[in-house]
Chain A
Amino acid sequence: MANLLLLFVLLINFYTLGSARLVACIRAVALQGALLALLPLAIHGPTGHALLLGVGALLFKGIFIPLLLLRTIREVRIRRDVEPFIGFVPTLILGLLVTAGAFIFADFLPLAHEHHEGLFVPTALATMFCGFLMLITRRKAITQVLGYLMLENGIFVFAVLLSAAMPLMVEAGILLDLLVGVFVMGIVLNQISREFSSLNTERLTALKE
């Protein structure tokens, strides 16, 4: 069950890397967040801790943050990410390569005995790398936020392995920090579009040596 979820998470990585339509990208990342919310339940069973973590992740990653981003792009009226620094097909191939690399790398890691079989660690690494790719290769500020969210999703997969080590308060705090962080980013995005009448970060180049 958990492995099936993680497989979908990986597929969503590729979909997001290859898609130019911003709304589709946001929805994909939202779906990824919602799938991740099921993950604690899938491996820990319906305990109180897992339920709360799942509901929290679903609310923040699956609903609030995507709605916030969708509202932002409606206000600034952009639909597509034009001409990324590296084209969509090359990024997709890079994404495939790093995913394959993550699977090979995870085999060499000194994992705990019970984690050798599952897809957790390779998925976490691959999702983080794909998030990084988004961050680096895209021009729109909003896709950079999506890249950041994918990075956080990758870290979340790893965190689920360890949810016993993390008291609920810390997890709640982490999710809240993420939400507020993206909220502040959303406000800044609005200001950028008002000031520059675009969300292209290449216009943000006045400050340099």
Chain B
Amino acid sequence: MLLFLILFPLVGAGIALILPWYQGRSWLLPLCAGLHLLLACLILLDPGPLGPWLGLDALSRLVLIVTSLLYLGCAVYAVGYLNQRRDRGNKVIVPCLLIFLAAMTLAISARHLGLLWMAVEATTISSAPLIYYNRNRLSIEATWKYLLLCSVGIGLAMLGMLFIAYAALVGGVTPVSLQFDSLLNSATLLSTPWLHGGFVFLLVGFGTKMGLAPLHSWKPDAYGEAPGMVGALLAGGLTSVAFLAILRAVQLMTAAGDGDMARQALLGMGLLSMLVAGIFMVRQPDIKRLLAYSSVEHMGILAIGVGIGGLATFGAMLHLVNNALTKGCLFLSAGNIQRAYDSKKLAKVHGAIATLPISGSVFLAGFLAITGSPPFGPFMSEFTILRGIFGSGHLWIGLLVLFMLAVVFIGMGATALTATQGEAVQLETDFKDSFLLVISPIVFLLIILVLGVYLPEPLQRALREAANLLEVTP
């Protein structure tokens, strides 16, 4: 069943390659995405045991459902988007999007570190053509930076994995294996220096992919130049997958009794990410780069949540859901605004609400949500994380996070409000808000609104189980 979930998008990609019908190719995306979500839900009802290669534990179940939901929204949007981009075609982007889905699913369900590595590298390769979709000088520069930095990062993650295998070898574990469950079982035997080295390289490698500062430099370029839906998939889906990979390393460190070191490293990188993001968001003249820095900030918040532990870990799990869906809403509506104005710079973009009533309003609401304004979901999760920070006695860290949240709110607000407020402008393009282009961001917005006021019991349980996986000590 799980194997089918990974393989059928590849079949879809194969069909897309030979199908000579433009609309058919576009509609293949929501078809596969809908099937993926349906199957994912079915699997979640009965996850089955963890296999040696594939399997879903509480953490991966959470990431799987979020990614699948986000992907469906982006796939529906893609039909409308590709309709408008007939000049650019969809012969490459549709198969790549489907391969990307398969690679993400594989990375989420991998129970073997080697398989996880392969899948994450496959996401890098399959998303490079997505970033290059617009085929101009800027997008090529963004693609090159993305490809090179992420490949080197993933190379270092590979070294980290090898270090962990070597830790098992030196520790006298036989047989040496990178299978995750057997590593967890023999975690206390692993040689400590090699395990620490391995963790650092895994953190650096997958942290590059996730976009934690100071390894985030590809992020504004890639998110800025990629189409809106690709930005949404990268910022909501891929970052969650990379975060999952880092959490695997944290799980291993915790099982070996060195969880504190892992948490401190995450905490440090998280605070740095928020700081860097805050600095670059102030007076940011480009709405999509603004969203990219916001993504860096929220990766920082996730890392801080896990770094503090306890209640904050629960908050981080909730924030993973909220961040993914809010980023989906923001990137898709920003994509609409960019298409309408034929620009993403503040020099041209203003009065978006008056000009594009739906996309403009959704973008503004998304901005309020992502900066943690009630009653949206991110408010709840950020509040939970802050409660966790103050509750565990980290007064100064809590105050620092609050201060940086305020800086981000002001910095992001200046740009988002300038873009949305003001008189309507005469558009040079014939773009109009159409059903397919606005339904997904609206649905995402509604979901995070609901999550802000009411957390359903099954979700709460899923979040608790996921957080518990990170807390278990030997």
Contact = CB atoms under 8 A, between A and B. Distances in A.
B439 interface: no
A165 B165 contact: yes
Contact of B114 (A109, A158, A170, A204): A170
Given A110-B170, A181-B124, A207 B155 contact: no
Contacts of A135: 148, 152
Given A162-B162, A188-B128, A170 B144 contact: no
Contacts of A165: 165, 168-169, 175-178
B166 A180 contact: no
A155 B147 CA distance: 19
Residue among B142, B155, B194, B224 having the largest count of chain A Cβ atoms under 10 Å: B155
B387 interface: no
B140 A173 contact: no
B297 interface: no
A110 B168 CA distance: 12
Interface string A149-179: 0011001001101101111001001100100
B418 interface: no
Contact of B152 (A151, A173, A195, A209): A151
B129 A184 contact: yes
B159 interface: yes
Contacts of A167: 112, 114
Given A162-B165, A170-B178, A111 B159 contact: no
A205 B128 CA distance: 19
B176 A164 contact: yes
B256 to A, nearest CB: 15
B114 A166 contact: yes
Contact of B155 (A152, A161, A166, A173): A152
A107 to B, nearest CB: 14
A129 interface: no
Given A166-B165, A204-B144, A151 B224 contact: no
B166 A155 contact: no
A166 B162 CA distance: 9
B151 interface: yes
Interface in A187-209: 188, 191-192, 195-196, 201, 204-207, 209
Contact of A155 (B155, B178, B193, B220): B155
A148 interface: yes
B382 interface: no
A148 B151 contact: yes
Interface in B276-311: 280
Given A158-B159, A158-B162, A192 B140 contact: yes
A199 to B, nearest CB: 10
A112 interface: yes
Contact of B148 (A148, A152, A155, A191): A148
A188 B132 contact: yes
Contacts of A204: 140-141, 144-145
B105 interface: no
A206 B289 CA distance: 14
B143 interface: yes
17 contacts: A109-B193, A111-B170, A112-B169, A148-B152, A152-B155, A161-B166, A162-B166, A164-B175, A170-B117, A170-B178, A177-B122, A181-B121, A192-B140, A192-B144, A205-B141, A207-B138, A207-B220
Given A135-B152, A155-B159, A166-B114, 13 more contacts: A110-B193, A110-B194, A128-B159, A144-B148, A151-B152, A164-B175, A170-B118, A184-B125, A188-B128, A192-B144, A207-B141, A207-B224, A207-B225
